[in-house]
Amino acid sequence: MPIYEYECEQCHKRTELLQKVSDAPLKACPDCEGPVQKVVSPPGLHFKGSGWYVTDYAKKNGEPATTKTESKKTPEKTNTTTPSPKPAKGSGD
């Protein structure tokens, strides 16, 4: 069952109510009996990562989807030497 959120137009208190889709909407605030309005809020669930249709199967060009590990190339390691820092001048030599 979905959770619906209502906001009172008089006291501005928000109330969450677990209701069936077929249930009648809330008409009055449970605290002050003022009129309420249904609030549209973002969903509490967000799917991230691979394994979902959008990231793995929704390719328009017909090519198989690649995972992040396949698309990233590891850079070659090179030996670089860093010159040693020079002593500070004016230290009283």
Q: Look-up: residue for tokens 């249709």? A: 53
Identify the band that residue 32 occupies on the pLDDT scale cut at 50, 70 and 90.
very high
Instruction: Sketch the domain layout of the chain as residue ranges.
Output: 3-39
Contact 8, 15 (CB under 8 A): yes
The string of pLDDT tens digits covering residues 3-28 is 899 999 999 999 999 999 899 999 99
pLDDT value of residue 80: 57
